[in-house]
Structure formats: structure tokens, C-alpha cells
Structure 1
């Protein structure tokens, strides 16, 4: 036996002996791997009729304790509904699911998320929002490619990414579609009254919308915003809040914006009022009427604030409704 072979055999025997001394299932290697503490890009792409749809997350929007968001609702009932649906009773969290629709002729973005246009105020709901542009780029879509931005309404988490912190357009080649009622209301300093957030919301809307004044498209109930995309007036959350029906190759999907913010609380209790509604009672009536329509039509629904990616169906449950999430197709 050569010296080299003898050394190798002895080394092997030593390894076996050492391994035998360790309890079963333990290993000697204990390389410490630090936690990443980062979030992967969030986007989901699927075919819809002849179109290609990409849902892009602007990040989670935490409301915190839910009771202030539903001030006229019994706190004990809020807690019970959340617990019964395996949700934390002391921390309501909303998603932000924007849609990019590729029609083959246009790239159309529905709502923009919080963005960075208003500095510290852009983080009024915490540091987890404002991710739409980064996630859009990660999905392979550049902001410069967007032809049309369609707004459900002019609240901060839906239009504040139209421009950056310096007021420069994030979508330099896009037109912006919004209801005339919302455009007028949210750019009027005379409406800086009532809840404390109104001043900030109006200042933010003015900064973001005014940059596109020369390329505005006024949305009208029942009118086409683009081929296959029809506006559905759904006032109450804001004066001009609008849902959109998207139809292609015999399929229909309804983008509901902020028709209902929470997939449990406002579907199982559709007449509950929400604190950020301009007219809470009108909003509740609109929500009840639209949920009834969605349940009857059985159309696919894309909700801006429902659990990621916000796709599903509204299902009737007695005198109320439930949310049936659409399974995600990850096969490509």
C-alpha cells in the first residue's frame, strides 16, 4: 500500500468514527445564514381573452386597529368576524393590486399606488407602500411604455405615483382618465375641511393630477375609456369613484377599485361605513348594489385592496356576500 493511499484510508476512517459519535440527525456544519428581511418583486401575469393582464403590487397598506376605520360598527362584531376568518383582530391590512392591461395596441395602467410624490406624507400608511414602479420594472414593463392611466378615484393610494417627488411625470407618454367629478373635487382647496387627512389628500391630488392637465380624458358612466373598457359610476367612496368593466373575447372582468376595502368586513357587512368615504351612506348603498350585480353576473373581479393578487368572485351568502379567490395559474 502506498503512503498516499494509507493516509486517505485513515482520514476516511476518522470521518466515519466522528460521524458515529454525533446523535442521529445532527450535522457538524453550522454556517449561520443571516435573515434577508426583503420582499420579492410582486407581480402576476395571466391571459384574459385576447389581452395580457399583469397585476402589480404597490405593497401592503396597514390600517392598524380596524375599529377607527369602521367607526359606526360594533367593535365586538368586527373582532368576531376577523377571528372567525383567521385574521388578526387588532391589525387590519389591505393589499394594493394595480392592473396593467396589454390590449395589443395599448398598455393601460389602472391606478398607481402611493408613490413618492408627497415626501413623508407618502408614507402615511407606513413604509410598505409605494412599490408599484419598482415592481412594474421587475415585471418587464417600463413606466414610459404606459399609454393610458385609468384612475378609479383620486385618493392618495390610487394617484400619488403619477409624478415623482420633484413633480416630474412618472408616465411621460400617458394620458390620464378620471371622472370629472373627482378631478374637480380633489383639486378644490375649498374642500379642505372635515377629516384631518383632507388637506393632505387634496394637496397630493393637485400635485399629481395637474401635471397631466393637457392630457386628461374625462370618464363618463357607461362610456368607453378605451376599446373594451367601460366605466361604471360607483359614487360614495369619492364623489366620482368609478369601477371599470373589461371585456375581451366574450370574457368580462370588473376592476372595482375601492368599492369594498376589506374582503370580510365589507362583504359580510356591505352596509357598514368606512371612515375614508366622502359620503359613507351613499358608499354603502353603492357597494350593496354593485355586489348584488357582481354576484348575479358571476364575472371575474379584480379588487384593489383584497388579498393578493385581488382576483376572485363575489358569491352570495344569505343576505350578504363572500369572497371566492381565483386560483393563481403559475404554469406560465
Structure 2
């Protein structure tokens, strides 16, 4: 008997031996091994940046709703076409909220605070998926009492309403708060409760949260450090005092762009489009176009507050606009 014949016989014997078992299994109905969990794990991502350690904390997803009303001066068909071309739903835009914690070795710095729960039901104006910053911060091993400095890109609800809790107590009892003086004045002035309906809750929320830290405020200035290695860059329009922050350690620079661009497709492909939550939409578009050109030219890394989790990547020039190149996440540890 040849070796080929022996192998054939052995294979046949194995098939025959398995037949009763396969037959038995085939006659039993399939059963689910476990129920769906319908929950998300804590969302944080940690990495080394030069001599610093950085941790991105999620405040949860922020559903913007139908995208067309958010871009009132833009052709609806073009909005839909760009979203579908990026394999995104054309009838519902969802933004992330990526909060940076920077450990410089001397200070623990938090950039923006998310929606929080300081304003009761109004804190959920964008739905129940926001306000996750504190639980994710603690899951990442960071306690709010450890924060030395909170740096605000601007004073909108999803950036400063996490400064206090529902009772008005400081969430970060040992922290100073850095913000532009013009944003502080604008968003605590009741005379600005005009125009869009959101202005009244936005101002009420800013007043409650910022007033708790009035004795420990730092006024940021364009081109000046707010902390060693952290420089404020004026990028007005989204709010009157909106700033982005360039973070440098060693020969590396990363720019926390705040709300320079809310959407990684629409406002990169079309940087001159106007956005409905901008205080001055035309000035915002000019700041966005100018800063994106600088970021693409200098090839600096970016942390974007509202881009897909965790908001890390680069922008590159692409025709009249830009492409978003997300940075691969290092899941094996710090890198």
C-alpha cells in the first residue's frame, strides 16, 4: 500500500468517525452564548509626547443632528455628497469631545472640560451621551484634585460647563483657569443674550462655571505661554476670544486646535464654509483657513476636540481644502 493510499484511508476514517458528532450538532438549534452588553468601556488614550505624558479623555459623543442646518450658507447637495463620499450618514452628524490632559512633570494641565452636569437638564441639550469626562478621567487614574491648570480654548458649553458640579462647587478645587479676557467678558455679559436661542443657556452656563474660579483666572495672550511649553495662538471667530494651543516638548510640536474646525470632512474640504455656532462665521472661516494652511505647511501634529476619537493626526493640503490623516493608535503601551 502506498503512502498516498494510507493517507487517503486515514482521512476517510476520520471523516466517518466525525459524522455522528457533526450530525448530532447539526440537529441542535443555535443558541446565543451571551446577551448584548449595550455599553461602552471607559474611553481614554495615553501616549508620550517628547518629555511630556499626554492622555486624551472622552467626554462622550455629541450628536449635532442633521448637518444641513449647521451649515446654513452651504449647498445641501454638496454637504450630502461630501458625507456620503466619506462613508458617513448624510442625515446625522456626530462629533467627538476629546479632552487633553498634559503631564509636564511639574504640572497636570487639562484642556477644556466637556459638558459636565452643572446646568441640570440643559447639560443634556445634545443628548445623554455627553458629560463623561469625570468618570473617564478617574478611569485613566487621574483625580480632579490633581489638576493644576485648566486651559480653555473658549467658553462654550461643551468646553467649560464641566468646571463646576450641579451645586456650583469647583470640580477642580486646586486648579487655576486660563481663558482669553475677551471671551470671559463676552460670555458672562447678559447683554449678549440675543440672536440664536442657544445664547441664553450658553451665557448662563458660562457665568455659573467661570465665576466659581474668578479669583484664580489667568488671562491668555496671543503668542504667550500659559505654562512652560504651552503657547496660546489667537484664532477668533468661533468665539470672540477662541485660541488654539501649541504644545512643544523637545523637537516635537502638537497643536490643540479646539473648535478651529468641527468636522473632519466638511470643514477641512471646505474650510471657508460658515458654521451656525460661530459668533462671527466669516472671521471663523478666515482663522480656520489661515491656521490649517500653517498646520499643513509645518506638518505639526494635531489634537482636534471634535474629530473622530481620539482626535490625533495631521492635516495635508488637498486641492482647495485639506485631508485629515488620523494617527494610528498605539495599543501596546506608551510610544
1:235-269 alpha-carbon deviations (Å, 9 max, x no partner): 00000000000000110000000000000000000
How far apart in 2 are the matches of 1:65 and 1:107? 37
Equivalent residues in 2 for 1:50-89 (5 A)?
50-89=51-90
Is 1:22 aligned with 2:35?
no
- Distance between the aligned counterparts of 1:115 and 1:35, measured in 2? 28
**3-state DSSP class of the match of 1:253?**
strand
Structure 1 residue 39: Cα displacement: 1.0
Using the alignment, how far apart are the partners of 1:276 and 1:290 within structure 2? Answer: 19
Aligned partners of 1:27 and 1:106: how far apart in 2?
Answer: 61
Verify: 1:217 aligned to 2:208, yes or no: no
Distance in 1, matches of 2:300 and 2:157, equals 28
- CA displacement 1:111-133 (0-9 Å, x = unmatched): 00000000000000000000000
Q: Is 1:106 the counterpart of 2:101 in the alignment?
A: no
Secondary structure, aligned partner of 2:73:
coil
Are 1:290 and 2:291 an aligned pair? yes
Q: Which secondary structure does the structure 2 equivalent of 1:316 belong to?
A: strand
> CA separation in 2, counterparts of 1:32 and 1:236?
53
**Correspondence 1:1-332 to 2 at 5 A:** 19-24=21-26, 30=31, 33-332=34-333
- Tell me if structure 1 keeps the 8 A contact 2:314–2:327: yes
Bigger mean CA deviation after superposition, 32-41 or 164-173? 32-41
Looking at structure 2, the residues matched to 44 and 95 of structure 1 have their Cα atoms a distance apart, in angstroms, of: 14
Q: Deviations over 1:22-79 (max 9, x none)?
A: 255x767836522211111000000000000000000000011101110110000000
Distance 1:28 1:123, change over 3 A: same
Question: C-alpha separation between the residues in 1 aligned to 2:154 and 2:217?
Answer: 14
Identify unmatched segments of 5+ residues in structure 2: 1-17
Alpha-carbon distance between aligned partners in 1 of 2:253 and 2:32, rounded to the nearest angstrom: 52
Q: Where do 5+ consecutive residues of structure 1 fail to align?
A: 1-15
Q: Is the 8 A contact 2:230 2:248 kept in 1?
A: yes
Question: TM-score under structure 1 normalisation?
Answer: 0.93
SS at match of 1:178: strand
CA distance in 2 between counterparts of 1:220 and 1:241 reads 11
- CA RMSD after TM alignment: 1.4
After superposition, the C-alpha distances for 1:88-121 in whole angstroms (9 at most, x for unaligned) are: 0001000000000000000000000000000000
Alignment partners' CA distance in 1, 2:31 and 2:190: 62
Tell me, in whole angstroms, the C-alpha distance in 2 between the residues paired with 1:295 and 1:238: 23
SS across alignment from 1:22: helix
Moved >4 Å (runs of 4+): 26-29
CA–CA separation in structure 2 for the residues paired with 1:194 and 1:80 = 30
